[in-house]
Amino acid sequence: MSEVTANIAEIERLHKCYLDLRENAPWQRDGEECKAYHAWYDAVYVFFSSIDDLKGSYDFKTFTNVEKDGNCFVLEHVYYTQD
């Protein structure tokens, strides 16, 4: 498995973990969902940052400038408004 393929697989795993935590506890936020969001976001940021062609793109700038602080409800809102 190439490094790129491995990175994408890890990003997909982290994303699924975040979605599972968010969907299984929609009204009880214990912080694990926020940790999962940040783990996913950080992995995606590192991966996208390694691709030179993306660094100047509008989508990359939008992704890197989103709100990254706040509680789990804020992060969920940010996640859905960036689609």
**DSSP letters spanning 29-58:** --SHHHHHHHHHHHHHHHHHHT-GGGTTSH
As for how many domains the chain has, the answer is 1
Residue 79: how many CA atoms within 13 Å on its side-chain side? Answer: 18
The segments of the chain whose pLDDT lies below 50 read none
C-alpha 56/C-alpha 20 separation (Å) is 32
pLDDT value, residue 55:
84
pLDDT value, residue 17:
93
C-alpha 25/C-alpha 19 separation (Å) is 10
pLDDT value, residue 10:
97
Which among 66, 68, 58 has a CA at the least distance from the CA of 82?
66
pLDDT value, residue 13:
97
Taking the whole predicted model, whether its pTM rises above 0.85 is answered as: no
Q: Containing domain of residue 11, as a range?
A: 3-81
pLDDT value, residue 28:
64
pLDDT value, residue 22:
81
